[in-house]
Amino acid sequence: MATDIRLKDSLPALTERVVSTYEECGRLHHLGHSPLPSYREVVEILADLREIFYPGYGRRQNLHMGNVGYHVGDLIDSLHDRLTVQIARALRHDCKAARDLETDFEADAQLSAIRLLEAISEIRSILGDDVQAAFDGDPAARGLDEILFCYPGVAAITVFRIAHELYRLGVPLIPRMMTEYAHAKTGIDIHPGATIGRRFFIDHGTGVVIGETTRIGEGVKVYQGVTLGALSFPRDESTGELVRGTKRHPTIEDEVVIYANATILGGKTVIGHHSVVGSSAWITRSIAPHTVVTIEDPRLRIRGASPDGPAGGLDYQI
């Protein structure tokens, strides 16, 4: 018992050592500043937006045309206020270096919140095409209900469509918070800055990576493990810092299919429309339309025991 008391007496000193590291590692804390956006609140906002996009599939399943208007109206009213608060926090933090005290962050945030809410009808139309593409592209699907409940690709693209609109409106930080939440839940990593056309379908999905400056046309289908990434990261010759704002990721034109574990890299790389990229392909240059790209078939070697024992076993190649 005495040993336990002595150990507990050391806790104030331990706390002091921890707090002292905050001065040494100043960029790893957010002390003495205005509040950042709340991760929990951003996730709740996504949940409420999903309620609007897919009514009857979420927390309220007793909806009908007689009460859905009230339900959606209540959600939109709440979202207006909560989005305004979170976007204002993000804007204020993003501008803290400038110390521009004359900026009305709340007014700017309210405008962005309204613009996002105004875009709901169009986003929902695009998501309708995405969900239908999932059903049309997967013979295992038994209906749209199954897709909305069970397909991680649809969950990830839903969050992306919201985050991309905020990204397009110039809202800092929150779009990345949204897509990283989807990444953690689905294993699908889509940067909110990517441009993705209608009828986009990610089948299975785990391990898919789509970079910030990727451009994807309409009717594109990708499978698990696909990477649409950067070939290299150019640096400024004078400062040595990474050059930002350039196109680093590929362009995928309409009606392209990219099979599992394919890797396509580079801002100048264009995959022409109606092409097919086979599994595990590594592509760093442009491909003409209507092209099929596959890697050379590997040789499969099978070794096994003979019926009479391990010696003299079978050994053949396919």
Give the span between the Cα atoms of 33 and 182, in whole angstroms: 28
The pair of structure tokens assigned to 258 is: 């990219």
Q: Residue 97 — pLDDT band, cuts 50, 70, 90?
A: very low
Q: What is the pLDDT of residue 17?
A: 85
- Helix (H) or strand (E) segment spanning residue 195: strand 195-196
Quick check: 155 pLDDT over 90? yes
Give the span between the Cα atoms of 120 and 75, in whole angstroms: 12
State the average pLDDT over residues 270-299. Answer: 94
The pair of structure tokens assigned to 101 is: 């005290």
Give the span between the Cα atoms of 112 and 84, in whole angstroms: 8
Quick check: 20 pLDDT over 50? yes
- Please choose, from the candidates 183, 235, 185, 170, the residue with its C-alpha nearest in 3D space to the C-alpha of residue 210: 183
Q: Collapsing DSSP states into helix, strand and coil, what is residue 263?
A: strand
Question: Strands 301-306 and 309-317: what pairing?
Answer: antiparallel
Strand partners, 209: 189, 227
Supply the mean pLDDT for the chain.
89
- Helix (H) or strand (E) segment spanning residue 88: helix 68-94
pLDDT digits (tens, 9 = 90+) for 261-273: 999 999 999 999 9
Quick check: 95 pLDDT over 50? yes
Q: What is the pLDDT of residue 311?
A: 53
State the average pLDDT over residues 133-151. Answer: 96
Q: Residue 99 — pLDDT band, cuts 50, 70, 90?
A: low
**Which domains, ranges and CATH numbers included, belong to the chain?**
33-188 (1.10.3130.10), 194-296 (2.160.10.10)
Q: What is the pLDDT of residue 298?
A: 75
Quick check: 152 pLDDT over 60? yes
Higher pLDDT, 236 or 307: 236
Q: Which long-range contacts (CB under 8 A, 24 or more apart) does 162-165 make?
A: 162/46, 162/49, 162/116, 162/123, 163/192, 164/192, 164/193, 164/194, 164/195, 164/196, 165/115, 165/116, 165/119, 165/123
Q: Could you tell me if 294 and 262 are in contact, meaning their C-beta atoms sit under 8 angstroms apart?
A: no
Quick check: 184 pLDDT over 60? yes
Quick check: 28 pLDDT over 90? no
State the average pLDDT over residues 89-100. Answer: 71
Q: Residue 29 — pLDDT band, cuts 50, 70, 90?
A: confident
State the average pLDDT over residues 235-256. Answer: 83
Percent of the chain topping pLDDT 90: 70
Strand partners, 258: 222, 277
Higher pLDDT, 265 or 35: 265
Percent of the chain topping pLDDT 70: 86
